[in-house]
Structure 1
Amino acid sequence: MANKQLDEMSFLDHLEVLRWHLVRATISIAIAATLAFIFKRFIFDVIIFGPTHMTFPTYEGLCKMSQFLGMSDTTFCAQEFPFIIQNRTVAGQFSAHIWTSIYAGFIISFPYVLYQLWSFISPGLKASERKNSRGFIIIASLLFFIGVLFGYYIVTPLSLNFLANYQISDQILNEFDISDVIALVRTSSIASGFVFELPIIVYFLTKVGLVTPQFLKKYRKFALVIVLILSAIITPPDIASQVIVAIPILLLYQVSIYISAVVVRNQTRKTTRENKKSTNKS
């Protein structure tokens, strides 16, 4: 019934429905951004600037690991970072407050934004397809938040530690602009969040026939190169950081192959059952 009503809707009707879904998603982001704006001390002092202190859990863990391996001369065990954070523009802090609140609002409200997107797409799917896609919002949101945490606790500290301790001359003092520090945390976290959506993307590409497990296996070597390039983009140019970031992405790629194989197997079984029913009827 829903599909029939959907077929009777004009293009402008679809745009109107999409507009209201976007409005509701935007309102949810605005509400979450307002909360983030109010709790600015927690957002900035604890979250944004957390990785700029050597008491951050990642540095403590890497320091203990380095000491266990007998690496005494490591920057992970320093008392503090050799840099200060500064603001060089009149409206710099206010702009940082506004935009950071918006990005935080997007991350917080991501499940609801995804729900609005799914509410617009799902009426166009068959009942069986909607049934097989149960749990999509929960799984996609969970993968996104795991990716954000990975970017925040792994990518950001590794990048910041490398860049803060990199020197071309002892005469140069590191005085990082507030916008650059925030951009590093934001890009690492949100980019990792979207990268971790790979299994979901592969699932839907397999459903529509654009991807097969054989295709993913055939181009695994090319995927490895792409993963290493991606790791080099979102991490500092040292091998250890790139390997740490590349490992979970490669695991996600392997999981995506398995998911694609499951989807193809289920589709094959469904086609076989339908063919048997057709044969019995005839």
Structure 2
Amino acid sequence: MTDSQPLISHLIELRNRLLKAIGCVALVFLSLAYFAQDIYQWLAAPLLDALPENATMIATDVASPFFAPFKLTLVVAFFVAIPYVLYQVWGFIAPGLYKKEKKLIAPLLLSSTVLFYAGVAFAYYIVFPLAFAFFSSVAPDGVIMNTDINSYLNFVLKIFFAFGLSFEIPVAIVLMCWTGMTSANSLRAKRPYVVVAAFVMGMLLTPPDVISQILLAIPMWILFELGVIIGGLYAGNDTAETEQAAE
């Protein structure tokens, strides 16, 4: 009975932190719900700017004009609440970490948030204008590009998540180097394979167009190089601390 008490207390704390995270997302969603149409208009701006004259977006489903903006607003609410959600994650795992582990995990949680936002911003401000201009320019004669609002939403959300997750590469590399799964020198030796893998991942994670695939693969390669540099520094600091402790 005594052994089960810590487990029960951890489960209760996990439940409370999950409820706080969900409550934060719900609160942000309720705050943004009034602006749902404006948020969708902002998301649609890159496509609308690339559409030919007199072309508009359409709704092929009766309920799409109502549900699509609120679906987007819910996703935006989660994006906005990510720092608080990660804070709850940190609050749950921090008591079980050593001091050295806390020094690593806290910066990684912060940097992972910033990198995810950077990936989403890169997709919106760089990839979308180029990709949509390309799609519009290659439309066959007599074909008007009228995109369904729900299909467009699903498309951009996939791109957002693909770029947001891909920008987490440095965090993943630092963790692998720190835990000893690999080393910076080993990753440098595998650079040619990583470059090929980046372009393959770009092909798998993005729609079938060359522009978005290249615009995802190149940042993944750059982020890999950044992760190798930082991972080498973390591994070096960890080795230095171990030697100092042994002395």
TM bucket, shorter chain: 0.7 to 0.9
Within a 5 Å distance, the mapping from 1:198-213 to structure 2 comes to 198-213=169-184
3-state SS of paired residue (2:56):
strand
Partner residue in 2 for 1:48: 43
Match of residue 195, structure 2, among 207, 224, 247: 224
Larger radius of gyration: 1
Letter in 1 for 2:219: P
Match of residue 151, structure 1, among 123, 127, 141: 123
3-state SS of paired residue (1:210):
coil
Task: Kindly indicate whether the alpha-carbon contact (under 8 Å) linking 1:83 and 1:176 is maintained by their aligned counterparts in 2.
Answer: no
Partner residue in 2 for 1:31: 27
Task: Kindly indicate whether the alpha-carbon contact (under 8 Å) linking 2:170 and 2:226 is maintained by their aligned counterparts in 1.
Answer: yes
Match of residue 145, structure 2, among 167, 174, 194: 174
Q: Which stretches in structure 1 are left out of the alignment for 5+ residues?
A: 1-6, 55-75, 277-282
Report Cα offsets for 1:86-114 as digits up to 9, x if no partner.
11212112221221111000111111111
Cα distance 1:20–1:211, how it changes in 2: closer, same or farther (>3 A)?
farther
Letter in 1 for 2:31: L
Percent of pairs identical after alignment? 27
Task: Kindly indicate whether the alpha-carbon contact (under 8 Å) linking 2:177 and 2:183 is maintained by their aligned counterparts in 1.
Answer: yes
Report Cα offsets for 1:23-80 as digits up to 9, x if no partner.
11111111122222111232022x21110233xxxxxxxxxxxxxxxxxxxxx7xx83
1:237 aligned onto 2:209: yes
Q: Structure 2: how far apart are the matches of 1:220 and 1:26?
A: 40
Task: Kindly indicate whether the alpha-carbon contact (under 8 Å) linking 1:146 and 1:193 is maintained by their aligned counterparts in 2.
Answer: yes
Structure 1 residue 236: Cα displacement: 4.9
Structure 1 residue 224: Cα displacement: 0.9
3-state SS of paired residue (2:181):
coil
Q: Structure 1: how far apart are the matches of 2:5 and 2:162?
A: 36
Cα distance 1:127–1:9, how it changes in 2: closer, same or farther (>3 A)?
farther
What TM-score comes out, normalization by structure 2 length? 0.87
Q: Structure 2: how far apart are the matches of 1:81 and 1:217?
A: 49
Match of residue 16, structure 2, among 20, 39, 43: 20
3-state SS of paired residue (2:61):
coil
Q: Structure 2: how far apart are the matches of 1:19 and 1:211?
A: 35
Q: Which stretches in structure 2 are left out of the alignment for 5+ residues?
A: none
What TM-score comes out, normalization by structure 1 length? 0.77
RMSD of Structure 2 on Structure 1 (CA): 2.4
Report Cα offsets for 1:102-141 as digits up to 9, x if no partner.
1000111111111111222222210222134443343222
Partner residue in 2 for 1:160: 132
Task: Kindly indicate whether the alpha-carbon contact (under 8 Å) linking 2:198 and 2:218 is maintained by their aligned counterparts in 1.
Answer: no
Report Cα offsets for 1:160-183 as digits up to 9, x if no partner.
22333333x434333211111112
Q: Structure 1: how far apart are the matches of 2:219 and 2:143?
A: 36
Partner residue in 1 for 2:102: 130
3-state SS of paired residue (2:57):
strand
